[in-house]
Structure 1
Amino acid sequence: MNFAHLAAAAPYTTPPLWRILTKSSYFAGLCGAIGFTVTYAAVALPALRAPENERGDVAVLRRRAARSLAWAGVVLLVVGYFQLAARVARAGKGMPFGDALAPGRIRDFLSAPAAKGAWVAQGTIYLVQNIVLVLASASLIALFSPVARRHLNALALTALPLSLAVTLIPAIPATAPADTDRVLDLVFGQVHIISGTVWIGGLALLVTLAGARRHLSENAGLLWADIWRRFSLVALVCVGAVLTSGLWMSWKHVGGIGQLWTTAYGLFLLVKTLLVLGMVAAGAFNQFWLMPRIARARRADATASLLHLTLRHFPKVVWTEVALGIGVLAIVPFLSGSARPAGSPAPVATGSIFAVGAALVLTLAASLCITAKTSDALSRRQVAAAS
């Protein structure tokens, strides 16, 4: 995921180690906060509410989900502080990262006056962001308490919009965007971040929940079949959003295909792209091979087979996706600058560019719809074969 701001082209420079660690860990924290809360709300919660599920299985997964969300809050709070210090270190003429960790330095950064022509001070925007970050973290960390776990749904649904705001608030420009391209840069950047964190974080949450299989009943396969089905739809939407926003940002930063292997930025982008395609391939395997077999086992009421597919085979593939996602996060800090030559102006979108982009988006949307329908058709075929 290329989370860098899309401004004028700049020569590529390798980021310092502290920048690599703070940026990777920050986006990992967002994966936990955003990915976990969205996946719990959109996937786990509806499945757990189904009346046919055994109460013991529901209780086990609720406890594990609560602990996972609580730890996500801890991680977000810690990495948020280091990310703020990294901003301080890079502000103005810059300073050593160790100095930027001092509360006094952070206070000065957050209280700095607005720049000329700005409607609000940049430090104020970051102050609001970090206040929201603390509130999101507190909502999740509260789930360590057995009393608070009784209100798991309310706390998770409270933390969800707060977690989204953590990434949306700093994207608010302190000065009016210069042109439409700059607005689109901000929009696509946030689409890329949110869809990517939901995808990677959601996978991580579900494999964590699947780790409780020893404590589940033999009928838990039905519950997990519903969970994987729901997440498959969420993942399809995330894939479409990641690829669409990624195409825009790649067009902005890469002048030609050859720059993918002749520049440092291009090589990192190429590696990231291959990792994302690996995640897509693993997801396609789930859609076209595992989901139809899960549907067949569910229809045939094959409890043992369903449990094996949903809690052994499926998580193994998802773990592969998680590993690839971690690789993507490790690449993120290196995607700074541009593959374009120094001094080369950033491209400007025209009517023809928008037309081509719209055609690509429609083609991608159609392919994802075909993927979903094909998976559904294969599932029905498996069911018919079992009847």
Structure 2
Amino acid sequence: MLFRRVAFCALALVWLALAAPAAAAAPGPSPAPSTSASREPVVAPPPAAPHDHPGVRPLLTTAKAVGYLGLAVFVGGLAFLALLWPEGAWDRRVRQLMVAAWAAGTAAAVAGIALQGVYTAMRPLSDVTSPHVWGTVLDDHPGEVWAVKGLLWVLASVVLAWALRAGDRAVRRAPWRVAALAVAFGLVRTTGMTSHATGTARPFLSETADVLHLTGASLWFGGLVILLLGVLRRRRPEELAQVVPRYSMLALGCVLAIAASGLVLAWQLVGSVSGLLDTSYGRLLLAKLAIFALVLGAAQRSKRWVGGRLDLAVRRGGDAATVRPFVYSVAIETALLSVVLVAATLLVTAAPGR
């Protein structure tokens, strides 16, 4: 009898010990009588998603835009000097322009590393110089790409210094051209490694189209800038007769490459007419295409001048009045194409499905 009482008391103490934590974990009044509504589980609201600090994303977008412009002028300038106008390597304005493009690309890459670090870690802009941010940015894929791009700009300085020191003697030689081609391809490829083309259903096709798209845009835009600030400012008849027709053919090839690769990228990223019309990404893409159509209009006007007025300009020794309409057309084409490059930056930072 005593044993039963002791066992009963022991079981009661064990039950109280097990029930006490449950009662402490769920304090409050007992639930109401069971009904169909009360049996539904109560879902707690999800925690607030982390967000980047204000000012970081716009600065990162600006760094990408500056990097795009610097890349286009630098890569297009290298191709223009190597293929069309080696003597331009001695021109003072062209040399200054190439140095400025290299400086812009390098500064954008360095700034991109720091801004990508604070953006990924979701830290305030004041931590942009933090050693911890710079140390951890390489653990993230976009940070690695920015770092590789910075190293490629260091290699680009060697190619640029070589051309500045030896002029057309370097630009005409195969070793310089191979080095310039390797650096240019590396810069174009790393620029596309953080684009939306890497996340499509057919990444190889999209990435190939992205490289072709960036290459065509760089050769076209960089060539326009060199043509406008270098060849046309000198107005030398022999240079006009030799360089302008060749660049016209190069620009035509760039337009075809941009159009074909752009169609592939648009289909891979948007995928439907509704995605093109009902999303902010699609509408931004339409705006880019509208500006691109204006660029093509200015390019067609320039092409007509080359076909009908270039011979007259050469015969008149590069007369300013004869060349001026072509200068205006090229200037408009360059300005509009720069807007297209900025729009491309906004497309890269936007979500395709939204």
Q: TM-score, normalised by structure 1?
A: 0.65
Percent of residue pairs identical? 22
Counterpart-to-counterpart distance in 2, 1:86 and 1:333: 16
Greater relative contact order (CA < 8 Å, ≥ 6 in sequence): 1
Structure 1 counterpart of 2:287: 271
Q: CA deviation at 1:26?
A: 1.1
Q: CA deviation at 1:290?
A: 0.7
Are 1:291 and 2:332 an aligned pair?
no
1:163-202 equivalences in 2 (<5 Å)? 163-169=184-190, 181-202=202-223
Are 1:79 and 2:94 an aligned pair?
no
Counterpart-to-counterpart distance in 1, 2:298 and 2:73: 21
1:113-164 Cα shifts (integer Å, max 9, x gaps): xx9xxxxx876665443222212034325766xx555765269744443132
Structure 1 counterpart of 2:127: 99
Counterpart-to-counterpart distance in 1, 2:281 and 2:144: 32
- Report the AA paired with residue 346 of structure 2: F
SS at match of 1:95: coil
Counterpart-to-counterpart distance in 1, 2:262 and 2:188: 17
Counterpart-to-counterpart distance in 2, 1:180 and 1:334: 22
Counterpart-to-counterpart distance in 1, 2:345 and 2:191: 17
Counterpart-to-counterpart distance in 2, 1:182 and 1:329: 22
Are 1:241 and 2:262 an aligned pair?
no
- Relative distance call for 1:228 and 1:156 in structure 2 (3 A) is farther
Counterpart-to-counterpart distance in 1, 2:136 and 2:145: 14
1:300-322 Cα shifts (integer Å, max 9, x gaps): x7224x54477422221111111
Q: Contact 1:88 / 1:105 at 8 angstroms: preserved in 2?
A: yes
- Relative distance call for 1:105 and 1:30 in structure 2 (3 A) is same
Structure 1 stretch 101-110 or stretch 273-282: which is displaced more? 101-110
- Report the AA paired with residue 131 of structure 1: L
Q: CA deviation at 1:264?
A: 1.7
1:249-260 equivalences in 2 (<5 Å)? 249-260=265-276
Q: TM-score, normalised by structure 2?
A: 0.70
- Relative distance call for 1:82 and 1:234 in structure 2 (3 A) is same
Counterpart-to-counterpart distance in 1, 2:170 and 2:258: 30
Counterpart-to-counterpart distance in 2, 1:259 and 1:160: 37
Q: CA deviation at 1:244?
A: 1.1
Q: CA deviation at 1:168?
A: 1.7
Gaps of 5+ in 2: 1-55
State the Cα RMSD in Å. Answer: 3.4
- Relative distance call for 1:72 and 1:248 in structure 2 (3 A) is same
- Report the AA paired with residue 308 of structure 2: R
Counterpart-to-counterpart distance in 1, 2:176 and 2:106: 16
Structure 1 stretch 122-131 or stretch 18-27: which is displaced more? 122-131
- Report the AA paired with residue 85 of structure 2: A
Equivalent in 99, 108, 118 of residue 136 of structure 2: 108
Counterpart-to-counterpart distance in 1, 2:247 and 2:282: 32
- Report the AA paired with residue 44 of structure 1: W
Counterpart-to-counterpart distance in 2, 1:258 and 1:122: 30
- Report the AA paired with residue 231 of structure 1: Y
Counterpart-to-counterpart distance in 2, 1:256 and 1:180: 14
Are 1:330 and 2:342 an aligned pair?
yes
Q: CA deviation at 1:99?
A: 2.5
- Relative distance call for 1:126 and 1:20 in structure 2 (3 A) is closer
1:26-175 equivalences in 2 (<5 Å)? 26-45=67-86, 48=87, 62-91=91-120, 93-102=121-130, 105-110=133-138, 112=139, 126-140=146-160, 147=165, 149=167, 153=171, 157=177, 158-169=179-190
Q: Contact 1:255 / 1:340 at 8 angstroms: preserved in 2?
A: no
- Report the AA paired with residue 251 of structure 1: W
Counterpart-to-counterpart distance in 2, 1:37 and 1:310: 29
Q: Contact 2:276 / 2:286 at 8 angstroms: preserved in 1?
A: yes
Q: CA deviation at 1:30?
A: 0.6
Counterpart-to-counterpart distance in 1, 2:160 and 2:227: 17
Counterpart-to-counterpart distance in 1, 2:218 and 2:300: 19
Counterpart-to-counterpart distance in 1, 2:201 and 2:319: 51
Q: Name the count of aligned residue pairs.
A: 293
Equivalent in 248, 268, 278 of residue 232 of structure 1: 248
- Report the AA paired with residue 250 of structure 2: V
Counterpart-to-counterpart distance in 1, 2:268 and 2:282: 12
- Relative distance call for 1:96 and 1:64 in structure 2 (3 A) is same
Are 1:303 and 2:316 an aligned pair?
yes
